Every structure is written in structure tokens, then in C-alpha cells.
Structure 1
Amino acid sequence: MDDQPNALGNFLRARRDLITPEKVGIAMSGTRRVPGLRREEVAMLAGVSAQYYLRLEQGRDRRPSAQVLESIAHALLLDDEARDYLAALATDRPRRRRSQSAVKETVPSGTSKLLRTLGQPAFVEGRYMDVLAANSLAVAFSPQLTVGANRLRDLFLNPAEQAFFSDWEGATRQFIAGFRNSVGADINDPRFIELVGELSLASPRFRALWARQDVKKLQGGRMRSDHPQVGSLDLNHEKLAIPGAGNMMLVILHPDPQSQDAEKLSLLASASLESPHPEELGARSHEA
């Protein structure tokens, strides 16, 4: 066993704890000491020996075959995104050392120009949920959408941002699952280690959700917020991948046409024109 963190074993244990015997057709009998499935039950469902599955969880075998991974994924009721994440954890590839220089995320100039032309709140989010660029409407919508801010840190540690989300608990679940999906198996990245360490120490909510090992690609949907100036706002939330820019996403918020939300957003737009925030426009390099 090498000196790398046992990411594969941690993932298997966390997902096993979330599956009750009833979900997989195992009859309950006697007192159970684990919240979910036992190791031997997962092994039985996956068609592998209990000793081999134990080695996987303990990190003594980190290169299972694709067939074994698929069987375990089926036993643990993993969806497609979680299966892809499991496969990435088991891929034999060189790991980056912690001392390696951080990679800079730089927003493409075309995307920076596009932000200025959009008539809706829009910003660029990096791999670690750093705000890399934002237009003035985004800043008017939320002061936390400023260049250099980190959305994950604000969501868990900033009371103003917590109050901003109507469903804060739901938002935290989505953010954590999306963050893990974005980072993937690159858990030795210095930025990842720093951010997860900081939030794990400072936020019990983060610790609890991070331990679940949920994985989900953040996609578009609805975002309901309690804005301090205009009250409740229900907006459409689009996340668009920027071609050739790694894991950067262009995030656009927009209301339904001719709705009260559209009127409220127009009020915020008018206020932003009266008090522009030029320092928030454009792209900056951010160490990630």
C-alpha cells in the first residue's frame, strides 16, 4: 500500500453506508452495527469475495478491473455520474505532488467580452467554484459574485450568502456534489487540499456532506433567492461549459419573460447602471 490517500476505499465505504438492506432486497435480521450494507453484503451483491472487497476498502488493492467496478457500482446503486467518478478513482495514473505549482485559470478574452454584452446576470465559475469574471448585473444580483470570491466558501461560511438562498440546505447538497464531480480524482491538487481542509475545520455542515461522497454534475435549473432589496427572486439558472477552458463554466441567471421576477431584475439592473462596478468586469487570472 502506498502513501496516497485511500480515495477509492473512502468512496466505497461512504456509499455503502447510504444503502439500506431493503433497497437491495436483503431481509433485515437481528441487530445491525452499521447504518447501511455490510462489506460482505456488498461483496455478495457484486459477485466478489468478501476478502477481496475488504482489500479494496482498505486500500490494499486499488486497481480493480472494469468488470469488478461495474459489479460494485451496480451493488451500490450508483448512477452514471457516480460510476464515472468510481472509475476515475481506480484509474492507475500519476498523481500530482502537493508541492507542484498551482495552475492558473484564465478566462478566454472572448468570454470576457461576452459577459459585458449579456443583458442578464452572468459570471464565470472556475473548477473550484472561484468567481473568475462577472458582469455588473451579477454583482447587483449578489455582492458575493465578485471576482476573487469563492462560491463554496461563501455558501458555508458567509451568513449573508446563507440567508440569500431560500433553500440553503438543498443548495449545499448540490454545491458539494458538483464540486466533487468537477475535481474528480485529482485530490492531490494544492487548491483542493487547501479549500477542503479550511471548510472541513470551519463548517460542520460541510464535513457531514463531504463525508457522503455524493457526486453530481451541476446543471441548469431554478434558483430561488431572498434578495435584500427586491425580496423573493425565482430565476432560471444555466451552466454552460466554455470550450477549451478546462472546467470553467459560464453561469447565466434569467427570469421568465413578463414575470414579477423580470420586473425585479430590471430594478436591480437600473440600480447597477447608476452605480457601476467596473472592477468586477472582465477576467482575471486566479490561482486554482
Structure 2
Amino acid sequence: MSSHVAAGDQVTSGLDRRTELREFLRSRRARLKPEDVGVPSHGRRRVPGLRREELAQLAGVSYAYYARLEQGFGDTMSAEVLDAVARALRLTDEERDHLIRLAQPERQNTTQAAPPPQRLRPSVQHLLDTLGVPAYVVSRRMDILGWNRLAAVLFGDWAQLPPEERNVARLAFLSPEARDRFADPERVALRVVGALRMNAGKSPADSHLSSLIQELSQKSGEFRRLWARHEVSCGTVGESVRLRHPLVGEFDLVHEPMALPGGAPMRLVTYHAEPGSRSEEALRMLASWEMKPLR
């Protein structure tokens, strides 16, 4: 497989703070329509969204001041200015936090160093084994650190993969088998990209994470396209995901991620069915089948 990346598709590593700040602000400005924010639109626009001067006016700052921010120089801006820009851009809470991390990482005590190697505590693996729903634990780098047998039945037996391939982002973009387990793999892929970009902003010196982003940008055109959207989100808590399984067909499960306390950042991810639904019956069938040895 060629690792060539066309000039127009080049993807930054996510660790160049000024480049990320500039491109993030431009992408958020481009998604705002003048009529959505009460700005008169005169004639045809060469680029989508709001112009710099229009955004500056909405935020109540001078054009020169906002232009400097969009050039990547956020360290001299006050907290009030960044908050005003976030409101004018209609950023979500996650996007606002991302803006602040990029502009002024010291405001959120952003960890500059890479996190230490991450291993699952035995007690956490025991918790996974006792849960009656598919569940796994991922690191900030999206490495899959541990899972239970029902997760293996639902998503595939990760134990058969080399450790370096047990990564949610790598599976989402480079594994056709893993993608086939989702009825809408692009929706899942977009959520993965949003989480990956958020995590890169939290750990800008993580060379492992930077290498993963570069690998995906080289090997997946879909990743390059979604990465260029500058989405920043871990997805909606409690959102429904439609899965596809060769034994029970398509069914919906509720995706619930939650942070685990202590040590390096990890997230426990569970999937459960609505009580009394066909999906609950499908999950029950898989739970019964998973008691048999995995082949």
C-alpha cells in the first residue's frame, strides 16, 4: 500500500499547536452561515462561512486582534477574549476547551509530556470480566488495554491481533473486518477522529500518538478527509450505535464511555441494550453463545 499523501490532502500531526489553532478557528468560522448569526450577506462569497472581520465584530474585538489569534498567537490573549471568540463561534464545551488548550495550554494545565506506558490493573480486568455487557478499556492513544469475552464476540477476538494493532483508531480505518461490525462505519470513524484530535490536544508531546495520526493519514483517504474537518468530540454520552453481527444481524446498543480514576488517563467503554428491546434479546443470545470456546 502506498504511503504517498497528495499535497492537497496533507494532514498535520495534531501536535503543532499554532498550526492546529489556526486551522481549527478557520474550520469553525467556515461552518457558520451569516444568516445564522444575524450578519448581513452581500453578494457572493469566495469562501464559505464568516469572514474574519465579521467574526471579530461578533466577538467584540478588533480585526487585528482576532487575526493575530487566527495566525496562531493565542498566548497574549486574555481569557475574556478567548471566551468571547468561543461564544461567537458557537463552540460546544468540548470545542471551547480544545480552543483554550491550543491557545493557552497553561490555563488548563495541559500535560506536555507523553503519558507513561499504560497497563491495565488486575482489578480493572476483573471488573471487565464480571460485567454482563460488552466492555473494554482504552488509553488516551486509543490502544485497547483490556476487554471481556462478550466484547470479543461482538467486535472480534482482539487477542488474535498483534498488540500494536489493538487500537480503536487503527481498526476503524484500516480493518475491513472491524468496520463491518458497524452498520454506519463512517459515523463511528468520525467519532474516533474527534476523540483522537481532542486527545492530541491534551498530549501534544506524545510521539506515539503523533505517529499513529501520521500512519492513518498516509494509509487512509477517509481519515484524511475526516481529519480535515477539525471535529473535536468524544461523541454524545449515551448515544445509540447500530451494530451488525453475523449471528444475530443488526441491533442497537447504547455506548457509554467513562473515565477511570488513578494513573494515566484511561476510559471504560460499555455497550448495553434498552430493556425489553429486540437488541436486549440479541445481546442475550450473544452472551449465551460466548460461553462456548472462541474459535
Tell me which interval the TM-score lies in, with the shorter structure as reference length.
Answer: 0.7 to 0.9
- Which residue of structure 1 aligns with residue 290 of structure 2? 272
Alignment counterpart, residue 159 of structure 1, candidates 160, 167, 176: 176
Checking the alignment, whether the CA contact within 8 Å between 1:127 and 1:247 is kept in structure 2 is yes
Letter in 1 for 2:271: L
Distance 1:33 1:227 in 2: 46
Paired-residue identity, %:
41
- After TM superposition, give the deviation of residue 60 of structure 1 in Å: 4.2
Alpha-carbon RMSD: 2.5
- Which residue of structure 1 aligns with residue 278 of structure 2? 260
- After TM superposition, give the deviation of residue 140 of structure 1 in Å: 0.8
* Cα gap change, 1:46 to 1:248, in 2 (>3 Å): same
- After TM superposition, give the deviation of residue 229 of structure 1 in Å: 2.1
Letter in 2 for 1:65: S
| Higher alpha-carbon deviation: 108-117 or 244-253 | 244-253
Letter in 1 for 2:176: P
* Cα gap change, 1:137 to 1:19, in 2 (>3 Å): same
- Count of matched residue positions in the alignment of Structure 1 and Structure 2: 273
Runs of 4+ off more than 4 Å: 92-97, 144-147
* Cα gap change, 1:61 to 1:127, in 2 (>3 Å): closer
Letter in 1 for 2:68: R
2:197 counterpart of 1:180:
yes
Give unpaired runs (5+ residues) of structure 2: 1-15
Residue aligned with 2:209, SS: helix
Distance 1:185 1:220 in 2: 23
Letter in 2 for 1:233: F
Distance 2:17 2:279 in 1: 49
For residues 9-39 of structure 1, give each alpha carbon's deviation from its aligned partner in whole angstroms, at most 9, with x where no partner exists.
2211121111121121112112211111111
Distance 1:95 1:247 in 2: 13
* Cα gap change, 1:112 to 1:95, in 2 (>3 Å): closer
* Cα gap change, 1:5 to 1:90, in 2 (>3 Å): closer
- Which residue of structure 1 aligns with residue 136 of structure 2? 123
2:22 counterpart of 1:30:
no
- After TM superposition, give the deviation of residue 237 of structure 1 in Å: 1.9
- After TM superposition, give the deviation of residue 150 of structure 1 in Å: 0.9
Alignment counterpart, residue 45 of structure 1, candidates 33, 58, 67: 58
Question: Residues 198-213 of structure 1 correspond to what in structure 2 (within 5 A)?
Answer: 198-213=215-230
Distance 1:176 1:162 in 2: 14
- After TM superposition, give the deviation of residue 92 of structure 1 in Å: 4.8
- After TM superposition, give the deviation of residue 276 of structure 1 in Å: 4.3
Checking the alignment, whether the CA contact within 8 Å between 1:123 and 1:145 is kept in structure 2 is no
Checking the alignment, whether the CA contact within 8 Å between 2:114 and 2:205 is kept in structure 1 is no
2:84 counterpart of 1:74:
no
* Cα gap change, 1:261 to 1:145, in 2 (>3 Å): farther
Letter in 2 for 1:198: E
- After TM superposition, give the deviation of residue 259 of structure 1 in Å: 3.4
